[in-house]
Amino acid sequence: MKLPDTARWALTHGLIRLVLRRETRKGNLNSRFLTDREVQLNPYPHYETLRDDRPFAPGLAGKVTVHHAVGTEVLRAEGFGTASFGGAPRPIRRVLAAAASGRARSVIEPPSMLAVDPPDHSRYRKLVTRAFTAKAVKALRERTEEVAAELLDGIDGSREPVDLVSGYAAQLPVIVICEILGAPTSMREQFLTWGDAAATSLDPGMSRQRFLQAQQGIDALLDWMRGHFDALRRNPGNDILSELVTTADTDGQRLTETELLATALLVLAAGFETTVNLIGNGIALLQEHPEQRALLAEQPALWPNAVDEMLRFDSPVQRTARRALHDTEISGVPVRREELVIILLGAANRDPKVFDDPNRFDVTRRGAGKHLAFSSGIHYCLGAALAKMEGEVALRALYQRFPDLTLVGEPHRRPTSNLRGFDRMTATLTPTSRESGVSRGRPGGRSGPGWPSAARS
């Protein structure tokens, strides 16, 4: 069954949009998270209004939790599955699933790994896990340091203030994920444009215009991917996408073309649409907390912990959802089959039962890594180790190279509410080390001819 995009929008976002508008007018806080720009800019005080002894607060379409323990329990429980198609009720999901069958048109709809339960989930995930293990990521660190150094070389901070998002924070993750997957880095600006449009589709209740724009972005990425797959079939390389198209066969169960496209699309888009926010949020936090920045300059060994603290304190993904597969119970509260549970990851990461003085940003915090920024359970972020390594390398190299970096004016938040980050961040850099003739702190200290040029390709 083919459903026009406008009908898909009406069934997924349009209906929710009507409810959200009505509830926002009534002052419902849960709908304000999604509709009120002021709340989106700083959701944390609002999360606190939901925090009491009850495991769940009532939400618009189900239950909502701000508690770390409750969120973890739901995310790890076998009795819960993914909440695909924007959490729509079952009859609508059936129509949408029939319409989506044979097509991969969203990262949050089947057959995207994010939107399916086992056994399909295990089948898809198994195909790409190898590229993202701790060992694989360790091997990528040096190359990531080279990419960071090369990007920094390209920034002339001596004259005008520069935009650190478009010039740096967005570039590093897209180059790295392209290299991992074997996608051309020369396409990265195009990927970023398509991906930015697609990122909005993670917010329920978006306008018809934004939905259609998001769809255009995803369709363009898919078209490119189809062509690229054809080329790889004819002439496979030594990369993950080549491996996907030539040996996409786990335990004898070959993936369909749609499953292949959905898997590749998700890994590519997740690879660059999220880490940019970690890097941007980190820069903003260090600007607001100069004493923490000074600590990192004195004790660079604190960087890995600092990145966990950034992920905890201002999480790039603010929420996720699950649907009960059968009647069950969480923290003593009955949850009915089909009921939706929203886990506010950003709020769970400020749970005082887990984090002392949770509203304090502290790069030396013990147990900072207990955050749920990468979720938990079987959908735990596939790219978590990669994202942490990229965040650490990118931020460390940036401050080493430009120790006087100062943001000019307020950085600008992205218009998305689930993906939380900045889309513009102007800074003066004052490259003091260049003037003093001292090595510019390039990680690994390499330079000169033969320097890999992927960052400029």
Contacts with ligand HEM by CB under 6 A lie at: 113-114, 125, 132, 177, 266-267, 270-271, 274-275, 278, 316-317, 320, 373-375, 379, 381-383, 386-387
To ligand HEM, the closest distance from the beta carbon of 269 in angstroms equals 9
Encoded tokens for 85: 């198609």
Q: Which amino acid is at 415?
A: P
For ligand HEM, the closer CB: 39 or 317: 317
For ligand HEM, the closer CB: 201 or 275: 275
Q: Using CA atoms, how far apart are residues 272 and 251, in angstroms rounded to an integer?
A: 30
For ligand HEM, the closer CB: 152 or 266: 266
To ligand HEM, the closest distance from the beta carbon of 2 in angstroms equals 27
For ligand HEM, the closer CB: 9 or 132: 132
Q: The dihedral of CA 372, 373, 379, 381: what is its sign?
A: negative
Residue with tokens 């649907």: 323
Nearest to 314 by CA among 64, 52, 41, 30: 41
Residue with tokens 């990419």: 147
To ligand HEM, the closest distance from the beta carbon of 356 in angstroms equals 23
> For the CA atoms of 389, 269, 428, 446, what is the dihedral angle to 10 degrees?
50
Q: Which amino acid is at 233?
A: R
To ligand HEM, the closest distance from the beta carbon of 335 in angstroms equals 17
For ligand HEM, the closer CB: 118 or 367: 118
For ligand HEM, the closer CB: 348 or 381: 381
Give the list of residues 6+ apart from residue 131 with CB closer than 8 angstroms, or none. Answer: 180, 181, 240
DSSP assignments along 395-406, one per residue:
HHHHHHH-TT-E
To ligand HEM, the closest distance from the beta carbon of 403 in angstroms equals 24
Give the list of residues 6+ apart from residue 4 with CB closer than 8 angstroms, or none. Answer: none
Q: Using CA atoms, how far apart are residues 323 and 342, in angstroms rounded to an integer?
A: 9
For ligand HEM, the closer CB: 57 or 177: 177
Contact (CB, 8 A) for 141 and 397: no
> Which of helix, strand or coil describes residue 322?
strand
To ligand HEM, the closest distance from the beta carbon of 308 in angstroms equals 11
To ligand HEM, the closest distance from the beta carbon of 450 in angstroms equals 28
DSSP assignments along 105-141, one per residue:
--TTSTTSGGG--TTHHHHHHHHHHGGGSHHHHHHHH
Give the list of residues 6+ apart from residue 244 with CB closer than 8 angstroms, or none. Answer: 127, 128, 255, 260, 263, 264
> Which of helix, strand or coil describes residue 375?
coil
For ligand HEM, the closer CB: 317 or 398: 317
For ligand HEM, the closer CB: 202 or 429: 202
Which single residue brings its beta carbon nearest to ligand HEM? Answer: 383
Within 13 Å, how many C-alpha atoms sit on residue 363's CB side? 23
To ligand HEM, the closest distance from the beta carbon of 420 in angstroms equals 9
To ligand HEM, the closest distance from the beta carbon of 181 in angstroms equals 9
Q: Using CA atoms, how far apart are residues 81 and 243, in angstroms rounded to an integer?
A: 29
To ligand HEM, the closest distance from the beta carbon of 182 in angstroms equals 14
Go through the chain and tell me how many residues it has.
Answer: 457
For ligand HEM, the closer CB: 17 or 323: 323
Q: Phi first, then psi: give them for residue 249, nearest 5 degrees.
A: -145, 105
Within 13 Å, how many C-alpha atoms sit on residue 239's CB side? 19
